[in-house]
Amino acid sequence: MPIIHNTINQQFMKIVLMGYMGSGKSTVAKQVAIGLDIPFIDLDDYIVEHENKSIAAIFKAEGEIYFRLQESKYLKQLLDQEQDLVLALGGGTPCYAKNIELIGKASESFYLRASINTLSDRLVKEKEQRPLIASFDGEQLKEFIAKHLFERRNFYEQAKHTIAIDDKAIEEIVEEIRSKLKD
Ligand code: S3P
């Protein structure tokens, strides 16, 4: 295992997975963590646990700006933890505040890149808990994803590594991440 230099907390390894909603960040991050035998945290779950509300309830009660502020605060907290960690971000995390700069300094980051078709096929089945897309259906959803991804791509592409995930099994994606960590 190489030593990954982390300017926030030099002695601990942080591996960060980013990408659009539905790109498989949590599933992949969990497997990477199991393989490396280090802890895994999903940023959305961490927010839910600390705020005592679902993401949908936070958006509804406090609004998106409040959510983004909390998201940034918890991200900093996690990147500063004195332990090795695989962290799955929320889809929007790299795109707000100065989160992408912090991620760049504090972690070995991976962008799980999926096509619009893959994302819309997946998200049409699991949009209810995602406040930004819950109200769209079919073509509307696909159009929203296309525009949204266009706006966000610039942030995602600042990740240190990009992994194309269309048509790949979870194990294959995990293996690609592991091999990039060894380089
Ligand atoms: C969001 C993605 C969600 C969650 C919130 C906002 C986004 O996370 O953080 O609903 O802005 O893309 P997932 O990518 O885990 O669904």
Q: What is the pLDDT of residues 56-78, one digit of tens each?
A: 999 999 999 999 999 999 999 99
Averaged confidence pLDDT in the chain:
94
Q: Which atom of ligand 1 is nearest to the CA of 21?
A: 14
- How far apart are alpha carbons 125 and 105 in whole angstroms? 35
- How much is the average pLDDT of 88-114? 97
What is the structure's pLDDT at 11?
79
CA angle 95/14/181 to nearest 5° reads: 100
Neighbours of 70 (CB within 10 A): 15
pLDDT tens for 37-52 read: 999 999 999 999 999 9
pLDDT tens for 106-157 read: 999 999 999 999 999 999 999 988 999 999 988 999 999 999 999 999 999 9
160 C-alpha to center of ligand 1: Å? 21
Over its C-alpha atoms, the chain yields an Rg (Å, rounded) of 16
- How much is the average pLDDT of 92-118? 97
Q: Give the HSE-up count for residue 97: Cα atoms under 13 Å, Cβ half-sphere.
A: 18
Q: What is the DSSP string of 50-62?
A: HHTS-HHHHHHHH
Nearest CA to ligand 1 atom 2: 91
Amino acid symbol at 151: E
- How far apart are alpha carbons 28 and 30 in whole angstroms? 5
Total residue count of the chain as it appears in this document: 183
Ligand 1 in reach of 56 Cβ (< 6 A) = no
- How much is the average pLDDT of 167-182? 97
Amino acid symbol at 44: D
Please report which helix (H) or strand (E) contains residue 85, including its range. strand 85-88
Q: Give the list of residues 6+ apart from residue 12 with CB closer than 8 angstroms, or none.
A: 6, 81, 82, 83, 84, 85
Just give the CATH number of 14-114+153-182. Answer: 3.40.50.300
- Angle (deg, nearest 10), helices 55-62 and 43-51: 60
What is the structure's pLDDT at 8?
53
Inform me whether the pLDDT recorded for 7 exceeds 70. Answer: no
Nearest CA to ligand 1 atom 10: 130
Inform me whether the pLDDT recorded for 5 exceeds 50. Answer: no
Ligand 1 in reach of 124 Cβ (< 6 A) = no
What is the structure's pLDDT at 138?
84
What is the structure's pLDDT at 29?
98
What is the structure's pLDDT at 129?
87
Q: Which atom of ligand 1 is nearest to the CA of 44?
A: 9
